[in-house]
Amino acid sequence: MKWLPGAILAILMIGNVQAETIIATGDLGLVVERASGSLLLVDQSEKATISRITGLGDLSHASLVYSPDQRYAYVFGRDGGLTKVDLVEKSIANRVVQAGNSIGGAISDDGTLVAVSNYEPGGVRIFDADTLELVADIPTESKTIGLVDAPGRRFVFTLWDEGETWIADMSSGTPLVKKISGMGDNPYDALITGDGRLYITGLFGEDGLTALDLWEDDPEPIRVLPEYGRGQKELPVYKMPHLEGWARAGREFVLPAVGHHQVLWIDETSLEETGRTDTYGQPVFAMARPDGRQVWVNFAHPLNDTIQVIDTLSKKVVHEFKPGPAILHMEFTPRGHEVWVSVRDAGKVMIYDTRTFEKRGEIDAESPSGIFFTSRAHRMGL
Partner 1 sequence: MRKLLALFLLLSSPVGAEEAAQTDKLVNLVHQDCGSCHGLTLKGGLGPDIRPQSLSHYDIDTLSTVVLDGIPDTAMPPWRPLMSEADAKKIAEYLLQGDVK
Q: Single out the segment in contact with partner 1 by CB under 8 A; choices: 58-66, 163-171, 217-225, 312-320.
A: 58-66
CB closer to partner 1, 161 vs 195? 161
Among residues 2, 16, 302, 356, the one that binds partner 1 under rule CB under 8 A? 302
Smallest distance from partner 1 to CB 381, Å? 20
Among residues 118, 186, 333, 375, the one that binds partner 1 under rule CB under 8 A? 186
Residue 349 near residue 342, CB atoms below 8 Å: yes
First and final C-alpha spacing in the chain: 59
Give the whole-angstrom CA distance, residue 85 versus residue 95. 9
Give the dihedral sign, CA 169/266/255/193: negative
Reading phi first (left if > 0) and then psi (alpha if -120 to 50, else beta), residue 357 is in: left
Q: Tell me the β-bridge partners of 116.
A: 105, 125
Among residues 73, 75, 87, 103, the one that binds partner 1 under rule CB under 8 A? 103
Q: Single out the segment in contact with partner 1 by CB under 8 A; choices: 53-61, 90-98, 109-117, 210-218.
A: 53-61
CB closer to partner 1, 146 vs 219? 146
Among residues 240, 271, 317, 363, the one that binds partner 1 under rule CB under 8 A? 240
Smallest distance from partner 1 to CB 325, Å? 10
Q: Using CB atoms within 10 A of its CB, is residue 35 exposed (0-12), middle (13-18) or buried (19+)?
A: middle
Strands (E), 198-306: 198-203, 209-213, 222-224, 248-249, 252-256, 262-267, 273-278, 283-288, 294-299
Query: Interface residues for partner 1 in 241-300 (CB under 8 A)?
Result: none
Residue 342 near residue 365, CB atoms below 8 Å: yes
Smallest distance from partner 1 to CB 236, Å? 4
Residue type, 165: T
CB closer to partner 1, 143 vs 248? 143
Of 230, 236, 228, whose CA–CA distance to 210 is shortest? 228
β-pairing, 81-86 vs 91-97, is antiparallel
Among residues 180, 326, 341, 380, the one that binds partner 1 under rule CB under 8 A? 326
Q: Report in angstroms the alpha-carbon separations of 375 from 98, 187, 235, 288, 371.
A: 27, 28, 36, 16, 12
Asked whether position 232 contacts partner 1 by CB under 8 A, the answer is no
Report the b/e string of 303-325 with b at 16+ CB within 10 A.
bbbbbbbbebeebebeeeeebbe
Of 133, 169, 64, whose CA–CA distance to 157 is shortest? 169
Among residues 127, 166, 188, 228, the one that binds partner 1 under rule CB under 8 A? 188
Smallest distance from partner 1 to CB 4, Å? 55
Among residues 84, 125, 143, 248, the one that binds partner 1 under rule CB under 8 A? 143
Among residues 27, 35, 197, 274, the one that binds partner 1 under rule CB under 8 A? 35
CB closer to partner 1, 261 vs 360? 261
Q: Single out the segment in contact with partner 1 by CB under 8 A; choices: 126-134, 171-179, 234-242, 305-313.
A: 234-242
Q: Single out the segment in contact with partner 1 by CB under 8 A; choices: 55-63, 164-172, 211-219, 249-257.
A: 55-63
Q: Which residues bind partner 1 (CB under 8 A)?
A: 34-35, 58, 60-61, 78, 101, 103, 119-120, 143, 145, 160, 186, 188, 204-205, 236-240, 301-302, 326, 344
